[in-house]
C-alpha cells in the first residue's frame, strides 16, 4: 500500500527527483520504497499523504466550482494529447 501511495505522489509531484526533494529523502531510499522493497518511515509516509490529501482537496474544489471531471480517455479537440503538442 505504501508503494502505491508513493507512486501516486510521484505522478502528482512530476517525477521521482521532485518527490524525493519534497519528502526530504535520498533518491535511493525513495526508489526502494517505490519498488516495495522496504517501507518509508512514518513521518515520510505522512508527508506523502499530504500530497494525496491536497490533490483530493483540489479536485473537491473544482467539483464545487462546477468544473467538469476530466477522464483519462478525454481528448482535446483534434484527438492529440495536450502533453504531446509542441
Domain spans of the chain?
2-64
**What's residue 80's pLDDT?**
53
**What's residue 86's pLDDT?**
41
**What's residue 69's pLDDT?**
72
Averaged over successive runs of 10 residues, the pLDDT of the chain (86 residues) comes to 93 96 97 94 96 92 81 61 47
Sign of CA dihedral 4, 7, 12, 18: positive
Alpha-helical runs (H) found in 14-77 = 16-23, 27-34, 42-64
Provide the CATH number for the domain formed by 2-64 in this structure. Answer: 1.10.260
Amino acid at each position: 500500500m505504501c508503494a502505491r501511495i508513493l507512486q501516486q505522489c510521484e505522478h502528482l509531484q512530476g517525477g521521482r527527483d521532485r518527490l524525493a526533494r519534497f519528502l526530504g529523502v535520498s533518491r535511493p531510499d525513495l526508489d526502494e520504497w517505490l519498488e516495495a522493497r522496504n517501507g518509508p518511515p512514518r513521518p515520510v509516509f505522512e508527508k506523502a499523504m499530504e500530497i494525496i490529501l491536497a490533490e483530493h482537496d483540489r479536485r473537491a474544489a473544482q467539483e464545487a466550482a462546477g468544473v467538469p471531471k476530466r477522464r483519462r480517455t478525454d481528448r482535446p479537440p483534434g484527438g492529440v494529447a495536450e502533453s504531446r503538442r509542441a
